[in-house]
Homo-oligomer: A and B are copies of this chain.
Amino acid sequence: MKGAFKTIASMFHQADPKANFAFEFWDGERVCYGDPSRPGAVTLRLKSPETAKQIIANGFLGFGEAYMDGSAELEGDLQALMRLGLRIGFDRTPPSPRQKLSLWLLRMATRNTTCRAADNICHHYDRGEDFYVLYLDPTMTYSCAYFRSPDDSLEQAQRQKYEHIARKLLLKPGERLLDIGCGWGGMLIYAVQNYGVTAVGNTISRSQYEYARRTVKELELEDRIEVVCEDYRNLTGKFDKIVSIGMFEHVGKKFIRVFMQKVSRLLEKGGLGLLHTIGKDAPSASDPWVWKYIFPGGYLPTPDEILREMGKVGFSVLDLENLRLHYARTLDLWIENYERNVEKVHRMFGDAFVRMWRLYLHLSSAGFKYGESRLYQVLFSHGLNNELPLTRDHVHVQGPV
């Protein structure tokens, strides 16, 4: 098993001869390239031959599980290791037949039917806001922020994201806005306070629903914001504008069409919609570790899958923007917050969880920087609207947020 890891180390070195990293084995033996004490360097420590075997047999799923149970340790820059792994295609290691079967069973059990979707969502979001406040910003926004400058604070960048979306959607006083998958209510509140719309938002996380209702009540916005605990497939009404931010990842490949059909029934003719979602340039298998531990039921669509189904329901795509590096920066700021509060996380959920969540955050950031993850904002109109501004200048005008 050491041999396999020595081969991997030499592939890492070939992929990036300047990378500083080391592998340490259970018996103290060490394979080292460059200077593993430098900033940006990383050391992987394997505690037993079984750990090494598990990683070789199961690829990233094996590594993730070994990291979670402590039999594999990392020191230094986790994302540097992921970058090297992505460079040599370690994420594309084909799963073993046994792993394939267990993933297939998991996939069947987590399909996003209306009655199953809530369980999948609760798996991730119902840890309660006590956990999420430890690393999100005060607006409690759990999606990609928008950085006008890399030095923007997380809260500022999240407000800028809401502003960016509001400008793209050309929100106007008196319009009815629907936010599909409204989370803790950040976009609803921003749009109502800054653009004078009335808004409806839905979530199927009980914990988000209660938090959002409470916040709306505290801000005395109950006459202008309605939050419902309801699957998107059950929504009714007609809206001038529709937004969905960081929810589409949970819809699932088989339900992309259902989602678009539903949106087309909810959106007025000539109305605008904005879909903000993680995706990939080209199809590839979902990461089994992320699927199993972080986002059961999740699926990262390609832009052509999105646009094809939009075309079929009569949406006209106006604008697509890829905010990939904005999500990497968002995640890095979440990681800073997370590590600052890691003792509290430890007290809440224990050691394995601390490591699992750390891995998830770093893996996500590395995916946007070096891997296949993208963040697409797709603006569309329902049918044609010849009254829209000719250019996108109004989105990019500077001004206070």
- Interface residues, chain A, with chain B CB atoms under 8 Å away: 146-150, 280-283, 302-308, 310-312, 314-322, 324-326, 369-370, 374, 384, 386, 388, 390-393, 395-398
**Given B150, B315, B398, which contacts A393 in the complex, CB threshold below 8 Å?**
B398
Interface of A is mostly: mixed
**Given B146, B147, B303, B315, which contacts A281 in the complex, CB threshold below 8 Å?**
B315
Chain B residues with CB under 8 Å of A305's CB are 304
Q: Across the interface, name the chain B residue whose C-beta is closest to A147.
A: B390
Q: Across the interface, name the chain B residue whose C-beta is closest to A148.
A: B391
Q: Are A281 and B310 in contact (CB under 8 A)?
A: yes
Q: A321-B392, A396-B392 are in contact. Are A374 and B281 (CB under 8 A)?
A: no
Chain B residues with CB under 8 Å of A316's CB are 281, 322, 324, 374
Report the minimum CB–CB distance from A125 to chain B (whole Å).
Answer: 28
Report the minimum CB–CB distance from A389 to chain B (whole Å).
Answer: 10
Which 5 A-B residue pairs are closest in the complex by CB-CB distance? Answer: A282-B311, A320-B320, A396-B396, A304-B304, A304-B308
Q: Across the interface, name the chain B residue whose C-beta is closest to A371.
A: B384
In the complex, A374→B147 CA distance in Å? Answer: 30
What would be 9 A-B contacts, judged by CB atoms less than 8 Å apart?
A: A148-B393, A302-B311, A303-B304, A303-B307, A304-B305, A304-B306, A307-B307, A316-B374, A319-B321
In the complex, A315→B305 CA distance in Å? Answer: 16
Chain B residues with CB under 8 Å of A149's CB are 390
Chain B residues with CB under 8 Å of A384's CB are 370
In the complex, A311→B281 CA distance in Å? Answer: 5
In the complex, A397→B280 CA distance in Å? Answer: 30
Chain B residues with CB under 8 Å of A395's CB are 396
Q: Across the interface, name the chain B residue whose C-beta is closest to A283.
A: B311
Q: Across the interface, name the chain B residue whose C-beta is closest to A390.
A: B147
In the complex, A322→B385 CA distance in Å? Answer: 12
**Given B308, B315, B393, which contacts A302 in the complex, CB threshold below 8 Å?**
B308
In the complex, A72→B397 CA distance in Å? Answer: 50
In the complex, A167→B369 CA distance in Å? Answer: 23
Most chain B C-beta atoms within 10 Å of own C-beta, residue among A147, A148, A282: A282
**Given B324, B369, B392, which contacts A392 in the complex, CB threshold below 8 Å?**
B392
In the complex, A245→B120 CA distance in Å? Answer: 45
Q: Across the interface, name the chain B residue whose C-beta is closest to A398.
A: B393
Q: Are B393 and A396 in contact (CB under 8 A)?
A: yes
Report the minimum CB–CB distance from A45 to chain B (whole Å).
Answer: 29
Chain B residues with CB under 8 Å of A148's CB are 390-391, 393
Chain B residues with CB under 8 Å of A324's CB are 316
In the complex, A174→B266 CA distance in Å? Answer: 51
In the complex, A146→B304 CA distance in Å? Answer: 26
Chain B residues with CB under 8 Å of A147's CB are 390-391
In the complex, A98→B325 CA distance in Å? Answer: 55
Q: Are A303 and B326 in contact (CB under 8 A)?
A: no
Q: A281-B310, A322-B318 are in contact. Are A150 and B390 (CB under 8 A)?
A: yes
Chain B residues with CB under 8 Å of A306's CB are 304
Report the minimum CB–CB distance from A272 to chain B (whole Å).
Answer: 12
Apart from A282-B314, A393-B398, what 5 extra A-B contacts exist at CB < 8 Å? A149-B390, A303-B317, A304-B311, A307-B307, A325-B390
In the complex, A315→B388 CA distance in Å? Answer: 30
In the complex, A22→B370 CA distance in Å? Answer: 62
In the complex, A157→B83 CA distance in Å? Answer: 44
In the complex, A318→B283 CA distance in Å? Answer: 17
Report the minimum CB–CB distance from A261 to chain B (whole Å).
Answer: 14
Report the minimum CB–CB distance from A218 to chain B (whole Å).
Answer: 33
